[in-house]
Amino acid sequence: MMIHEETARLLTWLIPLPPVLAFALIVLFTNRSKWLSHTIGVGAAILSFIGSMLVTVFYAFRVEHFGEHPIESAINWLPTGNTWFRIGVLIDPLGAAVLFFVSITIFMIFLYSVGYQNYGQPAGDHDRAGLPPHGATIEEHGHKHVVPSVEPMYSRFFAFLGLFAFGMYVLVVSDNLLTMFVGWEIMGLCSYLLIGFWYGKPSARNAAVKAFMTTRIGDVFMLLGIAFLYSATGTLTFREIFTEETLHVLASTPAAFGMTASGLIALLLFIGTVGKSAQWPLHVWLPDAMEGPTPVSAMIHAATMVSAGVYAVIRMFPLLTADFTGHGLTTTMSIVAFIGAFTALFAATIAVAQNDIKRVLAYSTISQLGYMIAALGIGAYVAAAFHLITHAFFKALLFLGSGSVIHGMEHGVLHTGNHNVDPQDMFNMGGLRKKMPVTFWTFLIGGFALSGFPLITAGFWSKDEILADAFGHGHWAVFVTLAAAAFLTAFYTMRQITLTFLGEPRTKEAEHAQETPWTMTTPLVVLSVFAIAYGWVGIPEHFPVLGGLVPNWFHDFVGHTLAEVPDAPEFSWIPLLTSLVVALGGLALGWLVYRNVKSVSDDRLQIPLLKNKYYFDEAYDFLFVKPAYWFAETFVYKWMDKGLIDGILHIFGPTTGGIGSAIRNYFDLPVINRFFGDGSADVTYWFGGKLRAIQTGRVQQYLMLALVTFIVIGVALYFFVLA
């Protein structure tokens, strides 16, 4: 069966709509009814899912030459002078592949949330909106016991998820940078809302602000990039930018820092990705984002949203490589490759020393995203897209699995009543494979896929392709770094599995852990199928034995997004062996080291440097946060007593007086003493005193300041630029 082209086009427009309608409906009308809210939410997710499946599986994957004839449709949106700014939808092979996994994972998140937020359980004894549920006491057969309680803001959660899904779909289906950026920002907002979902917890609040502010840095640059691109080409539509002439013009226009215009634009856009995909040095927000409702928001932040960052770079790949001649990476590409490879290794080393089951996964995500970025940096377009998708599947699986583990552990915590036991600390677990068999097996599959367990898991094929690409094109540094990262990945994954599931329970809580309901396990099973099977669509053609059994469909399909299909890297034994060795070696080493570990003190990898994430938070605190506070308090604080304008007046007054007294003192006191001694100190002090507070809290003075600035800049521009 195949649907008609027109239908596909219409469906593409409709895909993002159900979640946003669900958001509106829940917020406006069904806030009170939990059942209605999740029915609407999940129903919307199903609708979008069906739409996406129709568009991808029943159209995009079956059409001949889909790369040349993608699903395109656009309408006029904003008048800009004489022309129109058009917005529209575009599903090309890349978009189809991404839409495929996005719709599946989003559907799974919705389903999983029903169970995770304890639908059907009684309301908690002391639960308050803004705090995680603490459990409810119920009486059954005459004796009381504690069971998990339902989330107090259940409906709100589904509303946010709906908005989030809308943002993601908009990002995927949009045909131009601006609407993509809109979706991007909607997701930024939702991630803020979801991380801070339990706003009663200070840590969650701080994490939300941190995530928002950090990604904002990237987004500002991204917006600059978009503006630059628009001013350079006059369009933001992908298919118009990626024509040969436009790219050629961009590639031959020199811009700043020895880069071409295309390079600079790509770099600016890439900085947005650095923020969104949590790449070094803007990676700090992602681990903290684990403060959100455990697995679901973690999954959003780790499997779907951060993928958007990588997706953006993949989208912009033609721009990134516009001035790439085939030998010798351009400046931008080297930067991308360096940041990616560095992040991959760097995050992997941190992950090794984390005890929180979610934080390990968070760093692992950063590391894997670094993989993809590095792959893009060396021009491995298809490999990056492939890894993006396989990673999304298995990382979603792992996060949901970890959520399931935590949920099971919370069960144990409620049972024993000892709330000092952290249900997320892996050292409190152990032996869970018997308590939670489904979770165990699916987690194992996910973990093996992450480690790149040879042949059967999806992760192996995608990782291998990146390594092969890096090797094949002679990017040795990248190759070695990524191989080392892969080794560490396998190691910490096995560490995690061993600590969590194998061995014997280390605490009473772990003994009383319980398997989670079907709404939570079903997504795990579904995703684990993809975590294995999705690898088979991308087996390289010349792979020994297996190669050619199944055609390398993925490479063929996604490759056609670009004007010229990139060549698959030639087969070579060295990267294959490397990936075999690192994956199996890492797994084995992890198991050997941790099978006997009984407590934290036995773990020799608790190195303070790694434990504290290379002190990045502290460094940022020292470098940025403290100065900002200092600036605010010292620079900005008391000046405002008097008001800004009064402040200026007060500068004039004392200045006049100061000049007078300075002249007097100039004759009275030794020049040297006055000038070099007290003078410098006094000037600083006086200046500081006067500039203490620019912030009055009074709108009018702000406006005046803004106007003064505006006038000054306007006059300056007029005379120096126009005239």
Partner 1 sequence: MTGEQITFLIVALVTLGSGLMVVTTRNLVHAALWLVATLFGVAVTYALLHASFLAVVQVVVYIGAIAILFIFAVMLTRKDMRDQGPQMNRNWWFGALLAVLTFGGLYFLLQGWTGLSKTAAALPSGFDAVGELGNALVSPDAYVLPFEVASVLLVAALVGAVYVAFNPHSGNSGK
Partner 2 sequence: MVPLSWYLIFAAALFSIGLFGVLSRRNAIAILLGVELMLNSVNINLAAFWRYGNVMDMTGQVFAIIVFAVAAAEVAVGLALVISVYRRRNTVVADEIDMMKW
User: Does 707 sit near partner 1 (CB under 8 A)?
Assistant: yes
Per-residue mark of binding to partner 1, 46-75 (x: CB under 8 A): -----------------------------x
| One-letter identity of residue 561 | T
Residue span binding partner 2 (CB under 8 A) among the ranges 11-19, 57-65, 501-509, 698-706: 698-706
User: Does 714 sit near partner 1 (CB under 8 A)?
Assistant: yes
User: Does 699 sit near partner 2 (CB under 8 A)?
Assistant: yes
By beta-carbon proximity to partner 2, the closer residue of 62 and 698 is 698
Distance CA 118, CA 133 (A): 9
Residue 715 site contact among partner 2, partner 1, none (CB < 5 to 8 Å, cut-off depends on kind): partner 1
Number of C-alpha atoms within 13 angstroms, CB side, residue 194? 31
First to last CA, the chain: 66
- The structure tokens listed for 371 are 């993989």
Distance CA 714, CA 707 (A): 10
Site size toward partner 2, by CB under 8 A: 16
Per-residue mark of binding to partner 2, 142-181 (x: CB under 8 A): ----------------------------------------
Site size toward partner 1, by CB under 8 A: 16
Pairing of strands 71-80, 83-91: antiparallel
Length of the chain: 723
By beta-carbon proximity to partner 2, the closer residue of 549 and 711 is 711
Residue whose C-alpha is closest to residue 501's, from 569, 416, 401:
401
Residue 504 — φ and ψ, nearest 5°?
Answer: -110, 155
Distance CA 713, CA 220 (A): 21
Residue 529 site contact among partner 1, partner 2, none (CB < 5 to 8 Å, cut-off depends on kind): none
Radius of gyration for the chain, computed over Cα atoms and rounded to the nearest angstrom: 28
CA separation, residue 309 to residues 294, 340, 368 (Å): 22, 12, 13
Q: Give the helix ranges, DSSP H, for 174-282.
A: 177-195, 202-233, 238-241, 244-252, 261-276
Supply the minimum distance, in Å, between the C-beta of residue 426 and partner 1.
Answer: 44
Per-residue mark of binding to partner 2, 626-645 (x: CB under 8 A): ------xx--xx--x-----
Residue 681 site contact among partner 2, partner 1, none (CB < 5 to 8 Å, cut-off depends on kind): none
Residue span binding partner 1 (CB under 8 A) among the ranges 76-84, 260-268, 478-486, 665-673: 76-84
Residue span binding partner 2 (CB under 8 A) among the ranges 156-164, 411-419, 519-527, 694-702: 694-702
By beta-carbon proximity to partner 1, the closer residue of 77 and 635 is 77
User: Does 202 sit near partner 2 (CB under 8 A)?
Assistant: no
Q: What does the DSSP assignment read for 581-608?
A: HHHHHHHHHHHHHHTT--SGGG-TT--H
DSSP secondary-structure letter at 293? S
User: Does 77 sit near partner 1 (CB under 8 A)?
Assistant: yes
Residue span binding partner 1 (CB under 8 A) among the ranges 152-160, 226-234, 518-526, 639-647: 639-647
513: left (phi over 0), alpha (psi -120 to 50) or beta: beta
Residue 657 site contact among partner 1, partner 2, none (CB < 5 to 8 Å, cut-off depends on kind): none
Q: Give the residue, chosen from 599, 697, 719, 721, that forms a contact with partner 2 under the rule CB under 8 A.
A: 697
Residue 695, C-beta contacts closer than 8 angstroms, at least 6 positions apart: 632, 636, 637, 639, 640
Residues facing residue 392 across a β-bridge: none
Supply the minimum distance, in Å, between the C-beta of residue 82 and partner 2.
Answer: 10
User: Does 701 sit near partner 1 (CB under 8 A)?
Assistant: yes
Supply the minimum distance, in Å, between the C-beta of residue 627 and partner 2.
Answer: 16
Residues at the contact surface with partner 2, assessed by CB under 8 A: 79, 632-633, 636-637, 640, 693, 695-700, 703-704, 707
